[in-house]
């Protein structure tokens, strides 16, 4: 009898352990099915989109309690508690929002659930968990194919980033749909907006050509940022952090919540200082964010102002490779010798820049299906970088020789400043229609960039008759950018969607004046681009998805491509990218997996070949054929209720065909060509991998162990093993603890130990190759990253 009873218990245990049930339901709004509603099982990896009839289904669920979270634009999010003991069907009725929320502002620029492209969403909560002063690229570096680097070595100050090996000048970055890239250089320097991360609601990183966007061409990736969204409740927070290299961060945030049912105000003040890992690589960073919104049931009017001021000591030169083993933190910037021959470093060898952003957003929902967004924007930027120069030719600064006694002095030590003073303003808009099988967006934008480039000599040992703050060069860049696009996602069958995205872009760009080497760089360029994208999205089951897409992107040369080009040689032409993406996604409550294959074929990609212009400066030259291809794998496993693992790996091949290297010959004052055939593209590792174990022994305590591996990279396009960044493997340990008290709503304590095992590595570099006395030689600069270092933070929420 006892044996039978024990056997019965075992059977019941086995049945319960392996029992799997189905949870299905329907999502309704205004008694109509809500096709495309997001349905997520909270605290799992499982999420689906409602079908055309509003239905959804989760299969193979273990018995237990679940929280079903359902959301849809224009409706209040609902959470339903389900105790699953057998197959169960639920009906979810979403109530229309009393007011329209901020989600509508970014609906045109963010990829949606059934967009057939590769993208990763990063929530504001995840950003905040890591944010203790490091720049935004360091907060996104765990997304697939992403590599971040820091000039100062610790992630504070000037940072750089690449996605799939594509440099930041080819990556479109937008804040609330408005371009953040500099219109002339195409670059994005997040140091200009320190601690913008504290005002982020969501980030979406699109890999490949991405969906149509305003501003600089997405020639390998897009980063869409949504700043702080509507918060109905008043709040106040003070966040402070400190750490290695005398790093300090202080942030104050406050919001009124909803006033009189219609108005909100949110604000932030931030200050970050750090000495940096590299010698004298100090950073003094300040910023603020202000937003005021007016909300009704059908309309949002929101004004946003954010500003940043950075003052960083230059660490751009890198460390010569022969010093890496003995003096890894060496910084040559500002170096000079005084009259006694003693080596000194100029104290104000800094980059000093302020950038102010003004945005006004208007959104109106005509009905459940039709909505309009329109935004105006203005960005003001002004600043300089200052240099101490020894023994400079006065004529190069348009200063006449100076007579001292009977001697004519033609050279002098001096201090110069190179200035950028620019205005960028424009309008973007989108009209969205979504009903039944159709999701249609029509939009576009127009912007004008007006930037002055000029140089001043603020001091010279021998200045002669030159005026104080003598101007030695001045030029202007005027760029007008117009684009119009249409995106259409149509469900041709219950499980199949076809996607079409067509964009026309017109650019008028004029440069007028002289450059810092006194060359006349006046020129005009006009471009007309057509950028089509097509794709198919197939969802055989609600937790399995397949997609295929082809996109074409065109990119105009940037300012330096034109300014540095040899007037007597080939002029740069626009680049074209043909991008194929093929992907698969799978999600279940305890396991997720995705695989994305990409092939990116370039026509006329601009690369450094070693060629120089008429004054000896390096130029970027179009190469006929180059490509990137690879596979991106992502996996998530909920090992136990308290332990979770997430990881991603990219395997890729990145090549330029028929590459010819040009090397300066100091013996002949000419250049020698070397035909190298097919070579590897610079800064394009064949393997990038990230891993994160998260352990939560209690609701208010979390530990994470993060590992990142980046394979070997060539620092030019020659595939020469003498010019490489060695592979690196870096591990970080994070801890988060929160507690509620009578005085504070919540206190969060955070610890981050970076490079736990003190790996010595360099994440960026440059090289110049030449021939002298018949032998190959080089000058180079590497950017070492910090060894073991820490950041400790405390957040007080009132």
Per-residue model confidence as pLDDT tens digits over 739-794:
999 899 999 999 999 999 999 999 999 999 999 999 999 999 999 999 999 999 99
- Among 748, 640, 588, which Cα is nearest to 238's? 748
Higher pLDDT, 611 or 783: 783
Q: Count of residues for the chain?
A: 798
Cβ–Cβ < 8 Å for 772, 669: no
Rounded CA separation 564/567 (Å)? 9
Q: Which pLDDT score, from 0 to 100, does residue 616 have?
A: 65
Rounded CA separation 75/47 (Å)? 18
Q: Which residue is associated with the tokens 């800064």? A: 683
Q: Cα separations (Å) of 268 from 235, 252, 307, 358, 360?
A: 12, 6, 11, 15, 18
Q: Cα separations (Å) of 795 from 193, 482, 745?
A: 21, 44, 11
Query: What is the mean predicted confidence (pLDDT) over 283-287?
Result: 98
- Is residue 140 exposed (0-12), middle (13-18) or buried (19+ Cβ within 10 Å)? buried
Q: Which pLDDT score, from 0 to 100, does residue 8 have?
A: 37
Rounded CA separation 56/94 (Å)? 15
Architecture label for domain 20-96 = Sandwich (2.60)
Under DSSP, the state recorded for 229 is -
3-state secondary structure 185-228: CCCCCHHHCCCHHHHEEEEEEEEECCCCCCCCCCCEEEEEEEEC
Q: Which pLDDT score, from 0 to 100, does residue 58 have?
A: 87
Q: How confident is the model at residue 214 (pLDDT cuts 50, 70, 90)?
A: confident
Rounded CA separation 679/796 (Å)? 53
Q: State the DSSP H helix or E strand holding residue 3, giving kind and residue range, or none if neither.
A: helix 2-18
Rounded CA separation 294/286 (Å)? 28
Instruction: Kindly report, residue by residue over 549-606, the tens digit of the pLDDT.
Output: 999 999 999 999 999 988 878 899 999 999 999 999 999 888 999 999 999 999 999 9
Q: Which two tokens stand for residue 724?
A: 């490489």
pTM: 0.93
3-state secondary structure of 562: helix
> Phi and psi for 559 in degrees, rounded to 5?
-55, -50
- Among 699, 763, 689, 693, which Cα is nearest to 734's? 693
Q: Which residue is associated with the tokens 């408005």? A: 178
Q: Which pLDDT score, from 0 to 100, does residue 19 have?
A: 62
Contacts of residue 276, Cβ cutoff 8 Å, sequence gap at least 6: 152, 153, 154, 156, 157, 245, 282, 283, 313, 315
Instruction: Kindly report, residue by residue over 160-207, the tens digit of the pLDDT.
Output: 999 999 999 999 999 999 999 999 999 999 999 999 999 999 999 999
């Amino acid at each position: 009898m006892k044996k039978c009873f024990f056997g019965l218990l075992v059977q019941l245990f086995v049945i319960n352990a392996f029992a799997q049930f189905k949870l299905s339901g329907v999502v309704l709004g205004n008694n109509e099915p809500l096709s495309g509603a997001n349905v997520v099982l909270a605290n799992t990896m499982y999420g689906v989109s409602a079908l055309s009839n509003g239905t959804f289904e989760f299969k193979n669920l273990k018995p237990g309690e679940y929280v079903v979270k359902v959301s849809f634009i224009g409706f209040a999010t609902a959470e339903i508690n389900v105790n699953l003991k057998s197959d169960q069907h639920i009906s979810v009725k979403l109530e229309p929002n009393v007011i329209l929320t901020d989600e509508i502002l970014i609906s045109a620029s963010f990829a949606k659930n059934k967009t057939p492209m590769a993208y990763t969403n990063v929530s504001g909560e995840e950003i905040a968990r890591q944010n203790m002063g490091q720049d935004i690229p360091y907060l996104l570096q765990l997304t697939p194919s992403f590599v971040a680097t820091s000039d100062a070595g610790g992630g504070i100050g000037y940072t750089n980033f690449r996605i799939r090996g594509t440099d930041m000048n080819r990556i479109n970055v937008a804040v609330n749909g408005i371009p953040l890239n500099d219109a002339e250089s195409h670059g994005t320097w997040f140091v200009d907006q320190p601690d913008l991360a504290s005002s982020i609601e969501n980030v979406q990183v699109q890999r490949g050509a991405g969906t149509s966007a305003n501003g600089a061409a997405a020639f390998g990736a897009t980063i869409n940022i949504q700043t702080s969204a509507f918060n109905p409740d008043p709040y106040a927070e003070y966040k402070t952090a400190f750490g290695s290299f005398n790093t300090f961060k202080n942030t104050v945030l406050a919001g009124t919540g909803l006033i009189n049912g219609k108005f909100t105000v949110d604000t932030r003040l931030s200050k970050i200082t750090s000495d940096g890992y590299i010698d004298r690589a100090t950073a003094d960073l300040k910023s603020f964010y202000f937003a005021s919104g007016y909300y009704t049931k059908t309309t949002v009017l929101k004004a946003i102002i954010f500003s940043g001021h950075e003052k960083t000591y230059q660490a751009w030169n890198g460390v010569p490779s022969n010093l890496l083993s003995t003096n890894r933190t060496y910084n040559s910037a500002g170096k000079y010798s005084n009259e006694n021959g003693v080596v000194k470093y100029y104290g104000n060898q800094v980059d000093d820049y302020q950038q102010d952003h003004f945005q006004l957003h208007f959104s109106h929902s005509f009905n459940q299906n039709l909505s309009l967004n329109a935004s105006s924007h203005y960005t003001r930027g002004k600043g300089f970088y200052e240099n101490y120069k020894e023994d400079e030719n006065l004529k190069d600064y348009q200063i006449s020789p100076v007579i001292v006694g009977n001697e004519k002095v033609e050279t002098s030590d001096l201090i110069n400043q190179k200035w950028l003073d620019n205005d960028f303003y424009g309008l973007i808009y989108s009209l969205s229609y979504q009903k039944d099988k159709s999701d249609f967006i029509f939009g576009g934008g127009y912007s004008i960039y007006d930037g002055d480039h000029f140089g001043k000599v603020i001091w010279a040992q021998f200045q002669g008759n030159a005026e104080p703050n003598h101007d030695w060069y001045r030029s202007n860049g005027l760029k007008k950018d117009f684009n119009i696009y249409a995106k259409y996602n149509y469900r041709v069958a219950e499980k199949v969607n076809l996607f079409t995205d067509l964009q026309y872009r017109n650019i008028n760009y004029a440069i007028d004046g002289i450059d810092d080497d006194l060359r006349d760089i006046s020129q005009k360029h006009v471009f007309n681009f057509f950028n089509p994208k097509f794709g198919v999205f197939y969802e055989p089951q609600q937790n399995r998805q397949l997609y295929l897409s082809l996109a074409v992107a065109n990119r105009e040369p940037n300012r330096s491509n034109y300014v540095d080009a040899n007037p007597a040689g080939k002029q740069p032409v626009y680049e074209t990218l043909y991008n194929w993406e093929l992907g698969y996604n799978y999600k279940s409550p305890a396991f997720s997996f995705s695989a994305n294959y990409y092939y990116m074929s370039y026509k006329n990609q601009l690369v450094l070949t070693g060629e120089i212009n008429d004054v000896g400066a390096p130029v970027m030259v179009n190469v006929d054929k180059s490509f990137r291809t690879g596979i991106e794998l992502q996996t998530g496993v909920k090992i136990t209720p308290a332990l979770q693992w997430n990881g991603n790996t990219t395997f890729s091949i990145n090549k330029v065909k028929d590459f010819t290297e040009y090397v300066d010959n100091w013996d002949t004052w000419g250049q020698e060509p070397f035909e190298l055939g097919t070579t590897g593209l610079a800064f394009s590792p064949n393997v990038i991998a990230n891993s994160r174990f998260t352990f939560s022994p209690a609701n208010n305590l979390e530990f994470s162990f993060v590992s990142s591996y980046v394979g070997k990279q060539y620092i030019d396009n020659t595939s020469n093993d003498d010019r490489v960044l060695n592979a690196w493997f870096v591990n970080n340990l994070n801890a988060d603890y929160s507690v509620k008290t009578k005085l504070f709503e919540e206190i969060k304590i955070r610890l981050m130990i970076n490079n736990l095992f003190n790996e010595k590595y360099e994440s960026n570099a440059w090289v110049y190759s030449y021939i002298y006395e018949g032998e190959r030689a080089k000058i180079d600069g590497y950017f070492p990253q910090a060894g073991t270092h820490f950041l400790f933070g405390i957040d007080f929420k009132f």
